Structure 1
Amino acid sequence: MMKKWLTVGMMTALLGTGMSSAHAFESNVTVGALAGTTGVGAEASWRFHERVSLTANYAGGLSWDGDYESDDVTYEGDLDISAGALKLDFYPFAGRFYLTAGAMFPDMEANVIGRPTNGGTYELNGQTYNLDSVHGKLTIADGVQPYVGLGWRSSHRNGFGFFSELGVMATNIDVSLSASGSGTNDPDFQENLRAEERELEQDADKLSVYPVAVLGISYTF
């Protein structure tokens, strides 16, 4: 009988400790400044449970310039990058490490200009044209895109801290080209221009996901 009462007493104590620990957690709000592969911005996270938080952020102001050669045309452009995010974070160990998933709202576009690589003629889909210019827009990602990642954030305790995150966002590649000069309204030319768009999209589509890396400093209330 004594052993039975001791066992019941130990179980009751353990349950009481677990309940006390669960009730001891208080929701926290963390705000921070970040920098990464989507630019520089800010973040806010509400940890309403010891294992779950809701996070929103926005970053922008990042620009990449580059060129790409297709047939006898070299395309040059500056890619402007910005993105917002709304994510649900899960802390499996109720500490700093978390897994996250949600939606990103990117705006990643470049205005491109095509220049003849050799001489003054453009080659589009194997055909040569004398044109004044070829220009257009390259979209890496826009709208709403799914996102997954993992990170480290000290939102379980008050005060200053650092945070980091690594993840991937899906892309939706799109290329739109236009040209000026004689013969650009010809149906055959337009078909070759559309073929050039498809070729550029296929090459750019090798980037099926965009890497997201973030470092930041935060304060938890």
Structure 2
Amino acid sequence: MQKKLSLLAGVVMLASTANVSADTFEKRVSVGVIAGTTGFGGDISYRFHENLAVTARYTDGLDVDTDFEEDGVDYDADFGMKASSLKLDYFPLGGRFFISAGAMMPDIEASVTGTPQDGMTYELNGTNYSASQIGSVVGTATVADSTQPYLGWGWRSSNERGLGFFSEFGVVATDIDVSLHTTNGFENLDPTLRDDLRGEEESLKDDIDKLPVFPVALIGISYTF
């Protein structure tokens, strides 16, 4: 009987301590500026519990130029990066380290221009076309432009008032799409060229789609109120 009373007293004391901890936690709001792989911008984070916070973020203004080579055609792609997100941050130890899950709305798209390596002949899906016949091959390449799941982890001092640095690393799912056309519009009259352009799109899509996710990495400065 004495052991049961001691155990009961211990449980009551533990519950009381937990309630005190929850009652004494001060809710905090953090505002930050960011630079990362989806651009430059800012976020606001509301830490409403010792272990939980909700964060909204927007980034824009980063351009990345890259090249692809496909069967004798050099493609230049100028990607523009921007994204918004809403996520829940879980601080397992109640300190700075957190794990995030939520939704990201990335808009990662490039304008694409193809140039024949010999300057005269395009090889599209295994078929040769003269540049004088079809003009230039242009289009768009999209990595992601719709709401996608996001997972990440990082460090942030949102439990303490004042100025601080934070960082985050994560991944967002991609949805690759490529669309090509010729400047002369000859594919509207030639079904074979139209089919070859569709085949070229699939080849470029495979080149871009090496990873099923896009890496998100950022650093920032925040102030917690």
Query: What TM-score do the two structures reach when normalised by structure 2?
Result: 0.92
Q: 1:154 to 1:181 in 2, by over 3 A?
A: same
| 1:169 maps to amino acid | V
Paired position in structure 2 for 1:118: 118
CA distance in 1, matches of 2:70, 2:2: 85
Query: Are 1:203 and 2:203 an aligned pair?
Result: no
Which stretch shows the higher mean deviation, 93-102 or 15-24? 15-24
Q: 1:180 to 1:40 in 2, by over 3 A?
A: closer
For residue 12 of structure 1, report the CA deviation from its aligned partner: 4.3
For residue 183 of structure 1, report the CA deviation from its aligned partner: 4.4
| 2:205 maps to amino acid | E
CA distance in 2, matches of 1:2, 1:141: 64
CA distance in 2, matches of 1:205, 1:66: 14
| 1:34 maps to amino acid | I
| 2:81 maps to amino acid | I
The aligned runs of 1:71-220 (5 Å cut-off) are: 71-130=71-130, 131-181=134-184, 183-184=186-187, 185-220=189-224
For residue 54 of structure 1, report the CA deviation from its aligned partner: 0.5
**Structure 1: gaps (5+ residues):** none
Paired position in structure 2 for 1:44: 44
Q: Secondary structure at the match of 2:120?
A: coil
For residue 211 of structure 1, report the CA deviation from its aligned partner: 0.6
**Structure 2: gaps (5+ residues):** none
Q: 1:2 to 1:112 in 2, by over 3 A?
A: closer
CA distance in 2, matches of 1:106, 1:94: 30
Paired position in structure 2 for 1:68: 68
| 1:216 maps to amino acid | G
Q: Percent identity?
A: 52
Q: 1:154 to 1:104 in 2, by over 3 A?
A: same
For residue 192 of structure 1, report the CA deviation from its aligned partner: 0.7
For residue 77 of structure 1, report the CA deviation from its aligned partner: 2.3
| 1:115 maps to amino acid | T
Query: What TM-score do the two structures reach when normalised by structure 1?
Result: 0.93
Q: 1:123 to 1:19 in 2, by over 3 A?
A: same
CA distance in 2, matches of 1:29, 1:74: 49
CA distance in 1, matches of 2:9, 2:125: 81
Q: Secondary structure at the match of 1:196?
A: helix
Which stretch shows the higher mean deviation, 37-46 or 16-25? 16-25
For residue 180 of structure 1, report the CA deviation from its aligned partner: 3.1
Which stretch shows the higher mean deviation, 173-182 or 152-161? 173-182
Q: Secondary structure at the match of 1:79?
A: strand
| 2:99 maps to amino acid | L
